[in-house]
A and B are shown apart, each in its own frame.
Chain A
């Protein structure tokens, strides 16, 4: 059977059931407020939001793969493009742009001009250290950890090493802190081979 063509972010977004955007914004706001009340410390809240995002990401990735029919990405550059154009579009209804690649192609920035999580939100002075959208960094980290890519992006190896993509996601720009866009830096770290060592000796 010929492989099914991958679907565009727009097509998938149009085909899934949608929910009221205000409900989404209000629900997320309620979660952040409750976390602030329960944990009191802004750093703790940041950590919890990231953890929540991670738990979402590890489940979301299969939903993404099932609906979008993407095939395995050749390298991290392709992965970043797919997240920005298909992933964000499919789940948040907005696309991101990929910029600021480093020389090795293992670090990039995802830039969001529009973010439905922060509609109508203003950060008070007491919460200045808060990364309001930290759930997003957790989602990306969790989702990528469940998928593997070829070690160093090389396809020509005789024994392919599939490695789980462990990443570090940090916020570079945050509109709630006065910047002009949301910018997340995604850094690919620690490539640990998943496969059994079949090779006898090296």
Chain B
């Protein structure tokens, strides 16, 4: 029973640099995931303008009947968002953990080119471990 359905990472220009499916539902092909990422990037930017008060940091949570979408944007403009089961808790902490894994396995890899799609096996492995640990913790809660 997957709490997290999928994870997306978008670079500061709105291009999708990482997409991973963790559930059995909602598998998306490459073109659709690219399109969705650009759409989300634009919506996130627009939401900052829609805010009635200044200095809005954009959408953090989108709730629908069949899923929740949690989004974290670093101060460098990279966005991490997960699509998960409605009502899943502790997603912000998990996203923060994903950010730390990104700074370790992606940015510290000298052969990774900035802003380009992520092709780092160690990153995939550590993400899968983190998702697994979260799943186990979820069963325990």
CB contact between B76 and one of A65, A155, A159 (< 8 Å): that residue: A65
Say whether, besides A62-B107, A63-B103, A66-B99, A147 and B114 are in contact (CB < 8 Å). no
CB contact between B45 and one of A1, A150, A196 (< 8 Å): that residue: A196
Say whether, besides A59-B114, A62-B78, A65-B75, A160 and B108 are in contact (CB < 8 Å). no
Say whether, besides A1-B92, A146-B76, A198-B49, A158 and B54 are in contact (CB < 8 Å). yes
The residues in B between 44 and 102 inclusive whose CB is less than 8 angstroms from any CB of A are 45, 48-49, 54-55, 74-78, 92-93, 96, 99-100, 102
The total of interchain contacts (Cβ-Cβ below 8 angstroms) comes to 51
CA distance A157 to B56 in the complex (A): 12
In the complex, how many angstroms separate the beta carbon of B39 from the nearest chain A beta carbon?
15
- Residues in chain A near residue B114, CB distance under 8 A: 58-59
Cβ–Cβ contact B54 & A59, under 8 A: no
Q: Which residues of A contact B (CB under 8 A)?
A: 1, 4, 58-59, 61-63, 65-67, 72, 146-148, 150, 155-160, 195-196, 198
Q: Name 30 A/B residue pairs within 8 A (Cβ), A-sorted.
A: A1-B92, A1-B93, A4-B96, A59-B103, A59-B108, A61-B76, A62-B74, A62-B78, A62-B102, A62-B103, A62-B107, A63-B103, A63-B104, A66-B74, A66-B96, A66-B102, A67-B103, A146-B76, A146-B77, A147-B75, A147-B76, A148-B75, A155-B54, A157-B54, A158-B54, A159-B49, A160-B48, A160-B55, A195-B45, A196-B45
Q: Which residues of B contact A (CB under 8 A)?
A: 45, 48-49, 54-55, 74-78, 92-93, 96, 99-100, 102-104, 107-108, 114
